[in-house]
Structure 1
């Protein structure tokens, strides 16, 4: 437990501790074979999945990514793959950063995600690390009094996201909603959840939000064996979980090959203006400059954990995010819809050269619109 924020979150600390106990007892994380990186279902001592762990060095272009297709992409045609607007191999920070933004604003759609270190035989390691680990075990068995500074395989740093149960891919329920429309009350609840997803993705400038990487939980009446509404014991709930947030927080707006659009912008829910409930939740916070600076400060504490942290690049990431916050705030005030929001000109809000990096309230900023568009653009 090398990360101080874990001490302030006893429930999450307990969850990670259970995962470590399970690993010590031979209940190892299980690799998830979908996706383009090395990610793992983490279990508790009872064998129940409690989280998803994504190691930094097994990210899509990480040196130990077990998915060979990404390695071939990087080797054979590096100019056509990857995302030039993102800092490479910092997806684990993006996952945790999305959770931080979600918690700070009170959206409650991102499963809690933190940066931790875990070690497991099922992770992808270099052969030399495995051989070194076996050699140390053999030596200690032969000479019990001999002690090494670190036994076994080296721990891996990565993002740990709490596993959510009862959810399915958004695409599944969106198709069901077309075939079997729920009540108007349920669709209103879904609209509010959808708007929170829009707010999150727009703020962090998510470049990878398709209908396969956000989830919906809906306790449909038919699934309970009831067809008469009078038999229902209360109105069913509908919830959204925004997972797979590792390709966000760009240091510039996409301006090369692809636009990386928000695919939810094609849904009918995106055509409705933002609700009063969303405005009341978001506007007071985003209109407060001290809140925005505090959010940037907390992201700085999170991101600087990475050994390759670059303060200049981080400031560019925050300039993009501040621009997104500016557009979002204006769209909410003007009564725009999500689809109108994503059609607004891309803007960055940069700290002026004369602004102090230590001042929290009186920094001066300047806006700059991006005029260069990606070669393939949707909007």
Structure 2
């Protein structure tokens, strides 16, 4: 019967300190039985805890939980002991309790077919001893995963290593998963969902967002801190993490290292259209990769690749940041193809798709998507160009006075 859950489902439960465990659900399971199993498996108290599924508090019935969904176990009180290490299950524990592979894509959508091939290559490389390597730039934990030739093919960002998250490897700790993060409108541990949402919303690869998926990945390279002080836990073991996995695109530089005059008008427009739809609050030059198509980079011979969408789809209408807003390409009217693409956008269909693919995404984020997409469609109908749309969405600053948009 359609819509009826199957007898066996698998979920990945993450504690607010980053521990992750895959659990097979039976029909008879409810929120309380899952929490009791977690207490035994992870050795964490669950009496004063809540099991969250996106916005939904799971009090008993689990029938709405889809297969391969990530759940979050949060504590109901503010006190958190500084002596409690943020440990994930050991490799031996995982072997006995979690039958999933080293990298599992969360969700079975055909949207992730390209990522599945990528994951197979990475797993083969891991089997012959080609391990991932940490990325030293940025505020959060990130890792290059490689293929059998040792080439970087994916970048993995664990949700519990984001800025302020419990296992951040660079000292930016102090909050639990689910609390307001680096920006108050994006919660700690939820930038990975947004990375995947941006990819899913980039229909027909219109803006050139690389293949991205939410995964559960197990490896000893990941960082685990000892308590809320953020001291690194030295005894490295196999740990499982919920993370975003994005295809690594070889490139020559980013937009901050290159004059914008050679950027194709269509590429700027397409990235701008996506940024407006998802209210991107962090589109700076450093997350626009530039690749020379002819090996030289003559005028018009470069490709733009947008990355780092973790601060899009905020929970409220916040100030976006659009690096392209003053580029000359943004003042050129939309082409007929671009206007047709905008006209065919359906924000309500987009929301249904995201609810299906990313059931943990918050309804407040979807409301922002609807508002921004409808604004884009109306503005394009009235003949506004990309720069005008971006300026209307941004606040104006006069000295120290802020004027609402």
In structure 1, list runs of 5 or more residues that go unmatched: 134-151, 225-234, 347-373
SS at match of 2:121: helix
| CA 1:269–1:125: 2 relative to 1, 3 Å | same
Secondary structure, counterpart of 1:27 in structure 2: coil
After TM superposition, the score normalised by the length of structure 2 is 0.64
Equivalent position SS for 2:154? strand
Paired residue for 2:13?
none
- Name the residue aligned to 1:89: 189
User: Which of 330, 339, 349 is the aligned partner of 1:279?
Assistant: 339
CA change 1:36–1:199 in 2 (3 A) is: same
Could you tell which deviates more after superposition, 211-220 or 5-14?
Answer: 5-14
Residue of structure 1 equivalent to 2:219? 120
The 5-angstrom pairing of residues 1-379 of structure 1 reads: 1=104, 3-5=106-108, 9-68=112-171, 70-71=172-173, 82-102=182-202, 104=203, 106-126=205-225, 153-174=238-259, 177=261, 190-219=264-293, 222=296, 237-254=301-318, 259-283=319-343, 285-286=344-345, 291-305=346-360, 314-344=362-392
TM-score (structure 1 length as normaliser): 0.68
Counterpart of 2:52?
none
Give 3-state SS (helix, strand or coil) of 2:108's partner.
helix
SS at match of 1:119: strand
Is the Cα–Cα contact under 8 Å of residues 28 and 121 in structure 1 kept in the other structure?
no
- Offset at residue 222 of structure 1 (A): 4.6
What SS does the aligned partner of 1:344 have? helix
1:322: how far off?
A: 0.7
The DSSP-based 3-state class of the residue aligned with 1:71 is coil
RMSD: 3.2
Specify every segment of 5 or more residues in structure 2 that has no aligned partner in the other structure, as ranges.
Answer: 1-103, 395-399
- Would you tell me which structure has more helix in proportion to its own residues? 1
Whether the 8 Å contact between 1:32 and 1:41 is mirrored in structure 2 is yes
Cα distance in structure 1, aligned partners of 2:386 and 2:113:
37
Q: Distance in 2 between matches of 1:197 and 1:39?
A: 24
- 1:147 aligns with none
How far the C-alpha of 1:213 sits from its partner, in A, is 0.7
For residues 182 and 163 of structure 2, the distance between their equivalents in structure 1, rounded to whole angstroms, comes to 9
Greater strand content: 2
- CA spacing shift, 1:378–1:240, aligned 2, 3 Å: farther
Shift in Å, 1:22: 2.1
Determine the C-alpha separation between the residues in 1 that align with 2:382 and 2:296.
40
